[in-house]
Amino acid sequence: MNNQTRTNQVLLLASLAFLALAAGFHFNLWGRPAPRPDIPLVDPMFTSNTTWRTSYAELIRAKADLSDFDCYACHERHKPPPMHFDTNNILIVPKEHSDIVMHHGTHNRNNLCFNCHDENNLELFQTRDGRQLKLSESTPLCGSCHGPTYRDWEAGAHGRTSGYWNRDLGPITRLDCVSCHNPHSPKNFSRPPAPGPHPLRPVRTIAAEHHNPV
Amino acid sequence: MSCNCNSNKPGCCHSSEQGVSRRNFLRTSAVLASGLAALAASLSPLMEMEDVPSAEKFLQKYYKELTPEEMAKVLKRIENEVERQYGIRPHVRDLKPMDGVEFVYCLNLTRCIGCRKCVHACVKENNQSRNPEIQYIRVLKMPHGTFDMEKGDHNYAPESVPEKGFFYMPVQCQQCKNPPCVKVCPVHATWTDSDGITVIDYDWCIGCRYCEAACPYWARHFNFTKPNIPKDKLNPEMAYLGNRPRRQGVMEKCHFCVQRTRAGKYPACLEVCPVGARKFGNILDPNSEVSYILRTKRVFMQLKEELGTSPRFFYYFDV
């Protein structure tokens, strides 16, 4: 067998191999990765910085409609509104205020409207130590009972402080207690969670036995 | 068609003795041509390759050796690249750490409700890939009474959070004082700056993923594919070491939003937290919130303290 024939045979073999590879790529024999399933873009609600509520002070700043806070549109001046209780001594919320859920403190220990509101002037709050505060100044009112939390809030450790950590470079925004807490039911923070991760492969989920070892 | 050299047929194999015959020449060149064509066809997947680095990018110097003028050129190049790719002219800056600043993050486990808003605000701020997903923050749902992270669950999806009997622990880059990821990097593409942020130069990273293996917090993420960001979701306020779009084959991780924090702002995950569980600031400033928290709160741990990584990320409880 001379050299040239061998060269030709090698070349022929090589070109056949390349042709086979080309055909393989063309017909996608190895299976290029299938397109990934779509992941829906997250609801903008979950990336929004807005708080869950809007405080009265924020409504004033935003020049919003304040007619809901006009107590004397219905109530009569200089006449403390009556409170009614059921047989278990639980406050009956009048039907005009049916949007209010009274759940401030456990065991109904704090179910009197006039623990916070001033019964002689419904457009004011009164603290237990006798101060009278405007509706937009509710934070010191909360602080008159919740001392440690108020102290933390003043130090910036309770509640969100947003804006600039470096006060020389820009302002910060502080929130009022009622920007997040419903004053009549302050503890309820239950919300739907944002979607979890979408891994490329199915993941091991934490089985029930982890929580209740057999 | 094959040539059998044992035969004595005329015209076959005799040519080698008398130079190149026409038949042999044609056969050889036909085989060669088809072989080259086949080679080209088999290499065709290479033709689909995008963003082949420009000479400018290829010859770029190491980040710490760049002069301000060279840096300006690099930023211009990045702005051009992003504009070509996403159709938005971004504002890319190279922000240096401030003097007298060391960042610390505090996270209040009493407050966190596991709503995952921080996860998605982070993705939005830092131009992370949406599909496949890269997320810097992972929220673990943990049963009360343990810190065994094996019992944590990433994939909870109840109607509403928080669930009774569980607490939620978001984990992201802990910005360690003794970072294992920096030690293993063979090309010094990642380092800790003087303000405590461990940063990555995406142009210097070779994608070996050693740091991913070294990190005990699963904080580092690898771009296995070209990041997929919808054009209208791109955040144009960028930093070189921060949220500029990454390419395929590089690592990325939480960098405390350097494009925000080195400009004096709070990070995006803090800004979106609906319960104020996240606190960030300068630990060298005695009046900062984080100083107050570390002084007065039950700061119970740095995550995986026993590994000696000394994170700048603290978990604490109220009261």
Considering only A186-190, B74-78, B150-154, which range has the smallest mean pLDDT? Answer: A186-190
Ordered by start, the domain boundaries in chain B are 103-316
With an 8 Å Cβ cutoff, are A196 and B263 in contact? no
Residue A213's pLDDT is what? 47
Ranges A22-36, B19-33, B141-155: which has the least confidence = A22-36
**Residue B12 pLDDT > 60, yes or no?**
no
ipTM of the complex: 0.79
End-to-end CA gap in chain B? 91
Q: Which residue has the tokens 């009493």?
A: B110
**Which residues in chain B have their CB less than 8 angstroms from residue A46's CB?**
115-117, 120-121
Give DSSP secondary structure letters for B25-63.
Answer: HHHHHHHHHHHHHHHHHHTGGGGG---PPPHHHHTPPPG
Q: Which of A90-94, A114-118, B92-96 has the highest mean pLDDT?
A: B92-96
List the single residue in A47, A156, A189 with the smallest CB-CB distance to B289: A156
pLDDT at A108: 79
Strand partners, A117: A125
Distance CA B41, CA B270 (A): 52
Q: Which of B255, B244, B264 is nearest to B92 (CA)?
A: B244
Question: What are the structure tokens assigned to B137, written together?
Answer: 């923050």
Spatial neighbors of B216 by CB under 8 A, at least 6 apart, are: B180, B304, B307, B309
A5 touches chain B (CB under 8 A): yes
Lookup: tokens for B60:
């770029």
Q: Which two tokens stand for residue A118?
A: 């001033």
Which chain A residues have a beta carbon less than 8 Å from that of B148? none
B132-136, B148-152, B272-276: which has the minimum mean pLDDT?
A: B148-152
The whole-angstrom distance between A2's CA and the closest CA on chain B is: 8
CATH number for B103-316: choose from 3.20.20.140, 3.40.630.10, 3.30.70.20, 3.40.190.10: 3.30.70.20
Q: What is the mean pLDDT of residues B55-72?
A: 91
B265 has a pLDDT exceeding 90: yes
Closest CA to B77 of B56, B50, B49: B56
Average pLDDT over chain A reads 86
* pLDDT at B11 exceeding the cut of 70: no
Q: What is the reported pLDDT for B35?
A: 82
CA dist A24 → A15, A17, A163 (Å): 14, 10, 57
Three-state SS for B38?
A: helix
Q: What mean pLDDT do residues A86-94 have? A: 88
Average pLDDT over residues A92-116: 87
Res. A214: pLDDT tops 50: no
- Higher pLDDT: A209 or A172? It is A172
Whether residue B75 is predicted with pLDDT greater than 90 in this model: the reply is yes
Residue with tokens 């100083």: B291
Question: Above 60 in pLDDT, residue A1?
Answer: no
Quick one: pLDDT at residue A209? 46
